[in-house]
Structure 1
Amino acid sequence: MFIRIAAGSARRPLSLVLLAALSPLGVLAQAPAGSEAAPGQAPAARPAPATVGAPAPGTLRTVTLQEALSLAARQGPDVAAARAQAAVAAAGVRRAWTAWQPEVTLGAQFVHSSAEAQLDLGSFIGLVAGVFNLIPANPQLVPDPITLSARNSRYATAQISQPLFTPAGVFLLGPAKAGAEAAQLGALEAREQVLLAVARTYLGLQGISQMMDAAREAESVALQREGEAKAQLDVGMTVEAALLRAQSETAQARVQLAQLSGQYAQLLALLGALVGEPVQPAPLEDSGLRWDIPSEDQGPWEDTYAVRSAALVVKAHEGKVTYDRFSWLPSVMAQARGMYNSNSGFTGENLTYELSVAASLPLYDRGQRYAALAEDRARLEQAKAQYESARARAQANWVAAKANLRAAEAALAQAESQAQLAARVQQQVAGAFKAGMSTSLEMSDADTRRFLAASAAAQARATLEIRRVELAGAAGRIAASLEQAEQAAEQ
């Protein structure tokens, strides 16, 4: 028995796993070598296979669906990575603010020279007077020697530069904020996808658990049929083919149970990886978690994190194009600088300062501005196309999820009806077989149909719950539904 998967199910490994678990028993008709008991011998007692690779019972923490989603949202490694990526983008806003922030520098220097440098005007005047045989009229006016560079000199400089106007500070702050918001929404979209994967895995595990119960019931029925066939063979009421058929059905049920056990262990490991710690699902019951699904009239796909993030990316690229158009504007900067020199020099002071206002106008920068403008325009067109694509995909996901939900509801109703009918038919055939009015072949067919119907009903129930989660995910409301449930629990 096969169940059709709707479009877009390539990203739904859980549904494929469930489908693989429901392969027709006819494929497994051949039992392993040595599984058939020899005619006239009692069937050997064979224990049911345990879960392959699964931890021992009781070693894992049992959580409900709501608890699993809360753990994934709080400590899931994929969610943590998305948040870190959003934090990197948020740092870009601080980088954009640096265009308006001052720059303060402080420098110091110590210089040792083998000989000091001095300006001695008295020696120069004496030299000139001796050459021309002149006597200075006022020698007291001759200044003392001026030290330009002593043997040990100390210098210090403190400088502060404050931008008064810059094109980057005016036009790039808005795009940086839009980019940071887009990254934050992208992280929320990643969280939404992780929560969707957790819900699919969790519900898939519960579905496989129900199918394992059906396989165990099929095994017990098959063992009962073996016993009945053995008793009838001993009294000569049947032939060896009936015993062989019963043993084959037992082998088929055990092979099916082993396959389901392996799939359960695989999904259990996947759930632990998504949640961030080893956990196991609770028994199937109503978790009380209600998905917040808006009406289609509200256009819920427009409010998804992916669409909102794509819109902000367009806004960020528009801001970059605007900056490229006005990057030719001048930059104005005010600067204050204070200096210390252990040599007083010509000024006669050790401490001095300077104040200045500078403006720079880029006339031509080798064409880099025009190249950046062309590149950013192309990126803007790309962002617009991606935004429209995101809207179309979001709407398609919503339509597909809603259609899949309706199909799953109809499939569940049909599967439950078939399971009830198969159970009644099995009871009727069993009663007729005991009265000698039906054959062992009819009994085998009724048992097989009962198991297939029970397995299909188990898969249909799990699929319906998964479709409901997918519809909430198509509206971007999984995390919101979880928050509402947590708030209701606190109240």
Structure 2
Amino acid sequence: MRRAGMAFGLAAALVCLGHRAAAQQPADMAAPVRVTLQDAIKQALARHPSAVVAAEEIRRAQALVREARAASLPLLTGTAIYTRLDADRVFGGRVAAAANQEAANINLTVPLLAPQRWMQWSHAKDNVDVARASADDVRRVVAVNAARAYLTVISQHRIVEVNQRAMATAKAHFDFAKAQFEGGVGNRIDQVRAEQELAISENQFQQANVALVKAQEALGVLLGGSGPVDATDDAQLPSTTPTLSGAMDEASTRRSDLRAAQRRLQATETLVNDSWADFMPLLAGTFQPFYQNPPSLVTPQTGWQAQLILTVPLYDGGLRYGLADERRALANQARAQVDSVLRQARADVRSSFEAVRRADAGLQSARRAAKLAGEALELANMAYKAGASTNLEVIDAERRARDAETSAVVAEDTARQARLDLLSASGRFPQ
């Protein structure tokens, strides 16, 4: 009976405190938008500034392809000229230059042999692939950060619930101590101690709510929203983890940062291999129909001319050799970057794999400790109400129970974050 009455009092306190917490929320504060983990990732990838900038970088690279391609395609221009002189220019009784002159021509230039321009066009297309690979890596980072922020919101909700239960327990203990004192069977110091513990629990409950609001605002910023965002589910990540060797192999083929570094290396190696084009000649053909009024001695009223123009680079002060050396240096840098990213990826997999193993073991211990702390609190309350102990044991048990539950929540979040890190390190997240 005593346990049933105690449980009823605790439930009533939880209900009352829940109404109090809701009443304390400002009326002008908008309720956070609730989203699932998948929706949160989609919104972050669509609206986060880093993802938007990466997408625009792809468009810029595609525009540069069109710019580079233009130099390899025919060029058609038209020119019209009107000249007004103060008077006719007469030489030997004949008009050598009329006072009013009109001229027009259309010029067509076609690159016939332009290896350097063709290579620039090809390199620009390679840069589009590099931009796409870099954008994929940016999207991975944005998705992981959004998932971490989402898991943090879930963890803060758990901490708020823990502190709310602790506050309800402290309230029930205070009510009992107060009733005992007012009934003449208790003492004032027990009531004061219980009220002090209630005040401490209320303060920690408020601090937990502040941390929750900050986590929701941080999630809203990552999602590119205009307000706080809340989590709607537990966001359970896959419980099965890959083997260490399997995760290593996946990281070598699926990590977006490694793929981006490899694509940059391929692009720089292509630059080095295509340096021969800088030493090749340029052959262009031109065709120009024209109109001249009045005609002159050497220029009829209408006509056309065609040319083949061959440009051979003989000496440029060492520019081409400098460009070749620069490209080789860029290729060496890209090769070193690939090696660095690969080493980092393997290190991430090893550390994340060990972190998951340790976090899962720590979570089991934390949950067992929270369960034992709850039993100890129940026993302390029973002993106090039976007069077998003071409320110091109860207060100490309340604090230990709150700390143990909080540690269990933190351990749960650590385990989820560690599993997320392993999925990201092996290239499985985002899919």
SS of 1:327's partner is helix
Q: Which runs of 5+ in 1 are unaligned?
A: 1-44, 124-144, 481-491
2:320 to 366, 369, 380: 369
Partner of 1:403: 354
Deviation of the 1:117 alpha carbon: 2.8
Distance 1:289 1:150, change over 3 A: farther
1:317 to 260, 268, 293: 268
SS of 1:104's partner is strand
**Distance (Å, rounded) in 1 between the aligned partners of 2:100 and 2:240:** 78
Deviation of the 1:108 alpha carbon: 0.9
Once the two structures are overlaid, the 10-residue window that deviates more, 375-384 or 203-212, is: 375-384
Q: Could you list the per-position Cα deviations for residues 444-463 of structure 1 after superposition, in whole angstroms to 9, with x for gaps in the alignment? A: 11111111121122222222
Distance 1:51 1:276, change over 3 A: farther
Partner of 1:83: 55
**Distance (Å, rounded) in 1 between the aligned partners of 2:26 and 2:280:** 67
**Distance (Å, rounded) in 1 between the aligned partners of 2:193 and 2:161:** 22
1:301 maps onto 2:251 in alignment: yes
Alignment of 1:44-443 (within 5 A): 59-118=31-90, 123=93, 145=94, 147-235=95-183, 237-277=185-225, 278-285=227-234, 287=235, 296-297=245-246, 299-302=249-252, 303-346=254-297, 349-443=300-394
C-alpha contact (below 8 Å) 2:133/2:263 kept by paired residues? no
Partner of 2:11: none
Q: Could you list the per-position Cα deviations for residues 310-335 of structure 1 after superposition, in whole angstroms to 9, with x for gaps in the alignment? A: 11111222222234344121111111
**Distance (Å, rounded) in 1 between the aligned partners of 2:176 and 2:143:** 50
SS of 1:375's partner is helix
Moved segments of 4+, more than 6 Å: 49-55, 291-294
**Distance (Å, rounded) in 2 between the aligned partners of 1:51 and 1:467:** 37
C-alpha contact (below 8 Å) 2:218/2:228 kept by paired residues? no
Deviation of the 1:193 alpha carbon: 0.9
SS of 1:478's partner is coil
The amino acid of 1:182's aligned partner reads: V
**Distance (Å, rounded) in 2 between the aligned partners of 1:207 and 1:435:** 37
SS of 1:388's partner is helix
Higher CA-based Rg: 1
Q: Could you list the per-position Cα deviations for residues 86-143 of structure 1 after superposition, in whole angstroms to 9, with x for gaps in the alignment? A: 22223232233233112222111111111123555xx5xxxxxxxxxxxxxxxxxxxx
C-alpha contact (below 8 Å) 2:285/2:309 kept by paired residues? yes
The amino acid of 2:297's aligned partner reads: F
The amino acid of 2:56's aligned partner reads: A
Deviation of the 1:292 alpha carbon: 10
RMSD of the TM alignment (CA)? 2.8
Distance 1:419 1:57, change over 3 A: farther
Q: Could you list the per-position Cα deviations for residues 63-99 of structure 1 after superposition, in whole angstroms to 9, with x for gaps in the alignment? A: 1111111211223332112211222223232233233
How many residue pairs match? The answer is 411
Deviation of the 1:61 alpha carbon: 2.2
Distance 1:356 1:177, change over 3 A: same
**Distance (Å, rounded) in 2 between the aligned partners of 1:291 and 1:84:** 37
Once the two structures are overlaid, the 10-residue window that deviates more, 227-236 or 249-258, is: 227-236
C-alpha contact (below 8 Å) 1:293/1:475 kept by paired residues? no
C-alpha contact (below 8 Å) 1:409/1:464 kept by paired residues? yes
Distance 1:372 1:292, change over 3 A: farther
SS of 2:78's partner is strand
TM-score, length-scaled by structure 1? 0.77
**Distance (Å, rounded) in 2 between the aligned partners of 1:450 and 1:338:** 95
**Distance (Å, rounded) in 2 between the aligned partners of 1:337 and 1:440:** 105
TM-score, length-scaled by structure 2? 0.87
Deviation of the 1:354 alpha carbon: 1.1
Distance 1:415 1:51, change over 3 A: farther
C-alpha contact (below 8 Å) 2:51/2:142 kept by paired residues? yes
SS of 1:172's partner is helix
Distance 1:352 1:452, change over 3 A: same
**Distance (Å, rounded) in 1 between the aligned partners of 2:277 and 2:26:** 64
SS of 1:344's partner is coil
C-alpha contact (below 8 Å) 1:52/1:262 kept by paired residues? no
SS of 1:269's partner is helix
Deviation of the 1:214 alpha carbon: 0.8
**Distance (Å, rounded) in 2 between the aligned partners of 1:119 and 1:293:** 97
**Distance (Å, rounded) in 1 between the aligned partners of 2:276 and 2:162:** 69
**Distance (Å, rounded) in 2 between the aligned partners of 1:199 and 1:348:** 75
Partner of 1:457: 408
Once the two structures are overlaid, the 10-residue window that deviates more, 164-173 or 401-410, is: 164-173
C-alpha contact (below 8 Å) 1:50/1:261 kept by paired residues? no
Deviation of the 1:150 alpha carbon: 1.8
**Distance (Å, rounded) in 1 between the aligned partners of 2:380 and 2:299:** 120
Deviation of the 1:51 alpha carbon: 11
The amino acid of 2:104's aligned partner reads: A
**Distance (Å, rounded) in 2 between the aligned partners of 1:396 and 1:438:** 54
Which of the pair is proportionally richer in helix? 2
Partner of 1:140: none
Q: Which structure is richer in relative contact order (CA contacts within 8 A, separation 6 or more)?
A: 1
Distance 1:258 1:50, change over 3 A: farther
Q: Could you list the per-position Cα deviations for residues 368-402 of structure 1 after superposition, in whole angstroms to 9, with x for gaps in the alignment? A: 22222222222221111111111111221222222
